[in-house]
Structure 1
Amino acid sequence: MSLHKVSSINRSFAGTNPTSRGGESSLELEAIAAVHELSFAVQSISVSEMLPRTPDLIFVNVTTLEGRPFSLKI
C-alpha cells in the first residue's frame, strides 16, 4: 500500500481529508508557503501526509542540515 493511500485513509478516519472539506484551509496554504520559503535552509521540509490535519492544526516535517528530523505542530 502506498503512503498516499495510507494518508488518505488516515484523513478519512480523522475527518480531515482535504478533498472532503472542499480545499485547503488558510493554515494549510500558509504552511505550504512556509515550506517553499524555508526549503533553502534545511535538508528537507514538507507538510506531513501521514499525520491528520484540520483547519486549525497541521504538521510539518523538517530535517535539519545536520540530519536531525523534527515534526512541527502548527
Structure 2
Amino acid sequence: MKNVIWLIAGIGIGFVAAHQVSRTPQGAQFFDDVDTKAREFGAAVVDGYKAREAELRAAVAEAEDTIADLTSRLK
C-alpha cells in the first residue's frame, strides 16, 4: 500500500512539473516535439498493422481458393 501512495505522489509531482515546464517557450517546444514524434509513431504502428492485416487476408483468401480447387477435384 505504501508503494502505491509513492507511485501516486510521483505521478502527481510529475504532472505539476510538466505543467510548469510547458509554460516556458522551450518547454512548449519540447512537448510539441514529443507530441509530434508520438503521433508519427502511432501512425507507423497503424500502418504496419494494416499492412500485416492485408497480408494475412490475402493468405487466407489464397488458402480458401486452394481448398476450393482441391475440393472440386475430388468430386
TM bucket (normalised to shorter chain) is: 0.3 to 0.5
Higher helix share: 2
Larger radius of gyration: 2
Task: With a CA cutoff of 8 Å and minimum separation of 6, indicate the structure with the bigger relative contact order.
Answer: 1
Higher strand share: 1
TM-score (norm 1): 0.32
